Amino acid sequence: MAEGASVIPFVDLRAAHEEVAEEIDAGFARVLGSTAFMQGPDVAAFEEEYAAFSGVAHCVGVANGTDAIELALRALGAGPGSEVVLPANTFVATAEAVLRAGARPVLVDAEPARLLIDPDRLAAAITPSTAAIVPVHLYGRLARMDRIAEVAGDVPVLEDAAQSQGATRDGVGAGGFGAIAATSFYPGKNLGAYGDAGAVTTGSAELARRVRLLGNHGSVVKYRHETLGFNSRLDTLQAVVLRAKLRRLAEWNDRRRRAAARYGELLADLVDAGVTIPASPEEALGTDHVWHLYVIRVRDRDRVLAGLHEQGVQAQIHYPVPVHLQPAFADLGYRAGDFPVAERAAGEILSLPIFPHITPEQQEEVAGALRKAL
């Protein structure tokens, strides 16, 4: 990195923490005083508040986002002998959870512009064994839930909403379209805990009951175990953090939108230099992007990324290798060339720093560094 240049982190969680620090201190003191570390009153309160925020009836806190997907799949009855359809362009956790539930992942290529699961290719992936379809609202942008619902018919849809807390379409929130949804509160997500945490949301009391049962050793009534379960619960201290942050989430998502609009202006003249900015047709689709990630596309991406790093801009790639080309998923039998849209994107995408408290000056520096790196 060049001397004298300031570092622009990919995500800076400090300013967000400062806004909620007092509330969190008071909440931690309350929990420490009561020693209700597991399933304390803050967990139930957060579950209620997050369900209301998402516009669904039920929320069940769990240990992390990957567990949330697995437990939701199991609640839907996915398991050995069944298939689960998901996008090739996603974080590996989506596919991992399918395999952990015992089902077989069936991948679908991405839409060329938005890079989410392509509804036009969905029908071909559905078979009589399909137990669930798992669209991922990647980057903070909603998948085409209207089209997906049409193709899905009776097959239940499980939304992976880990990157899209607060995204809406016609007033319905991420997690409110399908039968059930899973989300992650990993610290860097739009709603981030101070450690691992996740949740399942659903309109169905029965699905919520099954998830709660599975995540708590198969038990709702203490020491009566109805089924073989897991230990996957949201801990009370994380619930305190999440409650404080949830009150600011709408405003923080607005800040992300403003930051994205600012990047749009700062980078507009680079379009001629071969940069694709994520000015996708969100408005026409009536959806509301929450900019978990700001993903541009460039030619010669690895050289550009190295140039940004040299100048102190901690850009990243989400994700450099699609699921089907990961060694861990080699047994699925996919090959290079199977999902050309996702594969091509993986070589061109580049995520610029974005977080609610990024300053206009930091964004100008990022844009300047990108101009040089090109």
Ligand X SMILES: *Cc1c(COP(=O)(O)O)cnc(C)c1O
Q: Active-site residue among 189, 222, 245, 372?
A: 189
- 12 Cα distance to chain centroid: 18
Q: Judge whether 274 and 299 are in contact, CB under 8 Å.
A: yes
Q: Residue count at the site for ligand X (CB under 6 A)? A: 15
Among 89, 163, 201, 363, binds ligand X (CB under 6 A): 163
Q: Please, which residue, 97 or 369, has the CB nearer to ligand X?
A: 97
Task: For residue 341, give Cα distances in angstroms to 111, 112, 121, 161.
Answer: 7, 6, 12, 22
Q: Is 371 exposed, middle or buried (0-12, 13-18, 19+ CB in 10 A)?
A: middle
**Amino acid occupying residue 111:** E
Among 20, 43, 66, 322, binds ligand X (CB under 6 A): 66
By the rule CB under 6 A, 184 interacts with ligand X: yes
Tell me the per-residue interface mask from 185 to 224 with ligand X, x by CB under 6 A, - otherwise.
-x---------x-x--------------------------
Among 93, 122, 304, 346, binds ligand X (CB under 6 A): 93
Quote the least distance from Cβ 137 to ligand X, whole Å.
Answer: 8
By the rule CB under 6 A, 90 interacts with ligand X: yes
Quote the least distance from Cβ 163 to ligand X, whole Å.
Answer: 5
Stretch that binds ligand X, among 64-72, 282-290, 305-313, 330-338 (CB under 6 A): 64-72
Among 162, 211, 259, 373, binds ligand X (CB under 6 A): 162
- 209 Cα distance to chain centroid: 23
Reply yes or no on whether 222 is catalytic: no
Quote the least distance from Cβ 188 to ligand X, whole Å.
Answer: 8
Q: Please, which residue, 195 or 347, has the CB nearer to ligand X?
A: 195
List of residues 6+ apart from 223 with CB closer than 8 A = none
Which two structure tokens, joined as six digits, stand for 210?
Answer: 């099954």
By the rule CB under 6 A, 316 interacts with ligand X: no
By the rule CB under 6 A, 89 interacts with ligand X: no
Stretch that binds ligand X, among 13-21, 38-46, 85-93, 303-311 (CB under 6 A): 85-93
Instruction: List residues with catalytic annotation.
Output: 189
Q: By the criterion CB under 6 A, which residues form the site for ligand X?
A: 64-66, 90-91, 93-94, 136, 160, 162-163, 184, 186, 196, 198
